[in-house]
Amino acid sequence: MSERGKRKASDEVTPSDVAVIKDTHEFIRDDDHDRLHCEDWKVRMARRYYDKFYKEYAIIDLSKYRERVYGLRWRTEEEVVRTKGQMLCGSKDCESSDDLHSFELPFKYVESGETKRALVKVRLCSKCAHKVKHTTS
């Protein structure tokens, strides 16, 4: 094999950062678990990624509100700077700043096969707040 064809140990294919974060991401991380597993570089990477989010208010996806299905995620630094989710409606697709209401929503989700629950704060305009309160007949 020529010099070009030889592989060095450092050239081994490893999981990409994105794949690692997707694999180890948690909506709400367990501080005790992270402390116990702090030697694992994947846990440290996921924790650093998680710590970059602003978790006072969440962004909500209301595209399936008629089915009473909501998606939530934490705000990014860019959204915090734009005041999205605090002074602008926290709905993913709305930019209204009129008549905002605060809600603490009980959020139940499954992560790594485990059912988890959390109270998550969102700020919504009247139109989007109606979608959260929507009940199917």
Cα distances (angstroms) measured from residue 92 to each of 7, 17, 58, 84:
46, 25, 10, 9
> Bridge-partner residues for 54, per DSSP?
75
Nearest of 123, 109, 129 to residue 58 by alpha carbon: 123
Tell me if the pTM is above 0.75: no
Predicted local confidence at residue 63, as pLDDT: 95
Predicted local confidence at residue 21, as pLDDT: 67
Q: Which of the 8 DSSP states describes residue 68?
A: T
Tens place of pLDDT for every residue, the chain, 137 residues? Answer: 444 444 344 444 355 766 776 677 677 778 888 888 888 888 888 888 777 677 789 999 999 999 988 899 988 889 988 999 999 999 999 999 999 999 998 888 888 788 988 889 999 999 999 998 864 33
| Host H or E run for residue 103 | strand 101-111
